Amino acid sequence: MKDADIVGAALAEVLPQTDKYWFQQRHLLKLNLLLLVPLLSSAVSGYDGSLMNGLQSLEQWKSYFGSPTGAKLGVVNAAQSIGSVLSLPFIGNLSDRFGRKPVLLAGILLIIAATIIQSASINFPMFVIARLIVGFGGMFVVQPSPMLIAELAYPTHRGKYTSAFWTMYYLGAILASWTTFGTQDYQSDWSWRIPSILQAGYPIIQLIFFYWVPESPRWLVAQDRAPEAAAILSYYHSGAVTSSEEGHSPLVTRELAEIVSTIQREKAVKNVGWGVLFSTPGNRKRTLIAVCVGAFAQWNGIGVVSYYLTLVLNTIGITDTFTQTLINGLLQIFNFGAALSAAILVDRLGRRTLFLWSGVGMLISYIVWTACSAVNSDTGSRPAGIVVVVCLFTFFFHYDIAYTPLLLGYPTEIFTYTMRSKGIALELMAIYLSLTVQAFVNPIGMDNIGWKYYIVFCCLLAVFLAVTWVLFPETKGHSLEEIAVIFDGPDADEARVDAKVLESEMVHGNASVTHHDEV
């Protein structure tokens, strides 16, 4: 695939030409290995999501906490979402003010502290409080990570790496599901305490390597620390350490020019608060898309399976703990493979294509799932029940090819720098508000109307597909700064002209990255 099809002609013409793979180039190998630290943030979230599925399948956990059902079960599942929502109103400002790295570090430490409380829980309230802290700290881990990845990644790797971010959710889910599968035969409290302890596994790995992760060059430029940004880009994108502009490669010079010019223009507007998300038609469209992606990812029916897998399996006659935990474990491996495949192919297939393919596949899967669930409920047909499990896997496949890799990757791309932190926080708000509502609504719906509850999601999926067709643009073939052209039109073209002028001045020694004047 041509570089111009991935990052656009402007950046492609200055990309170094080499016959070496990225892992044969020391600077790119080091960068991509360090980006695994923020990449693991989604694995932290994935462990949590699958952990509750696994714990609810364990008789030891249910008996220890009084076999919670209905609203009480909803409380323990909603606690994590409530904690997340509580952190989101201010986390966007924190990432912009203090940087991506400090916020990520705070989240890592909070998750480790919450793990200690959860694994040592002696009653239901203590367990719920731990879940609240997990949710609160989880957003400090999740919110800055995709931005740090997108703003640090090598141009031709950005799409794959940002798409791989939420794909790692299933890496956490795999560990959680197979841990609970392995401890199910323990007759003591350790059957659920061991999985709870391992919740700190990924955060500890992040903490060990955190020191070597560089800060976002975009954030450094926004703080008038452009020389530091130049040094990071020069070292990790071209493999050189220089102290002056003359030594920068053409790629780094053009990247710096685009970043500085874009942030200059954004800062000149002066509106860098939450109002920036709604200040122009282009910004309102970006915000609407991000909220839609976040809400669609939860209201397309995924919540029924991901948090209440045991209830779904109960409705088709699969009630024993061994089979339920086995299905959960196999499902997570399947999900990881599907999502990772889509992340690898994202630049070739395109974001819009994946969203539309996903929407059609999920709708068909849910319709068949609903019909077979009805037959199984009315007649007890075992074959119909088996088809439901098959549909569960096909639904997840089509969910995984878009709403896993692009859940945060797509909004991270479409937002400009000054919008990005607050925009991601708003999308996460849409996600976790949806999760909070569904944590209470889903078990009630499943308990009271059974398979008929699936009809609601069939209708929603049809609406979501239509909105996706009308609203979601393609972003491949553009650099991170150039994507603004899709939403802002002529205004973004002016920024590109400014970047060209600044690049020319930098090349001829008439401009410095040590400071930049307000436009």
Say how far apart CA 200 and CA 223 lie, in whole Å: 33
Place of tokens 């560089």: 214
| Res 517: pLDDT | 42
Determine the angle formed by the axes of helices 321-349 and 41-57, rounding to 10 degrees: 150
- As averages over each run of 10 residues, the pLDDT of the chain (519 residues) reads 74 83 91 96 87 81 83 81 87 92 96 94 92 93 94 91 91 86 86 92 96 95 91 90 62 88 77 82 94 94 69 71 76 88 92 96 92 79 77 90 94 91 92 82 79 89 97 89 83 56 55 46
508, 255 contact by CB (below 8 A): no
CA 491 to chain centre: 29
CA 76 to chain centre: 23
Residue 244, sorted as left (phi over 0), alpha (psi -120 to 50) or beta, turns out to be beta
Please tell me whether residue 346 adopts helix, strand or coil conformation: helix
What is residue 495's DSSP assignment?
H
Closest CA to 57 of 452, 326, 332, 418: 326
Q: What is the pTM for the complete model shown?
A: 0.85
| Res 316: pLDDT | 67
Say how far apart CA 2 and CA 14 lie, in whole Å: 13
User: What percentage of the chain's residues is helix, strand, coil (to nearest 5)?
Assistant: 80, 0, 20
| Res 374: pLDDT | 83
| Res 50: pLDDT | 75
| Res 495: pLDDT | 55
34, 209 contact by CB (below 8 A): yes
Place of tokens 């795999």: 174
362, 395 contact by CB (below 8 A): yes
What is residue 276's DSSP assignment?
G
∠ CA 482-253-477 to the nearest 5 degrees?
Answer: 25
Which tokens belong to 47?
Answer: 């462990």
Tell me how far apart the terminal alpha carbons of the chain are, to the nearest angstrom. Answer: 38
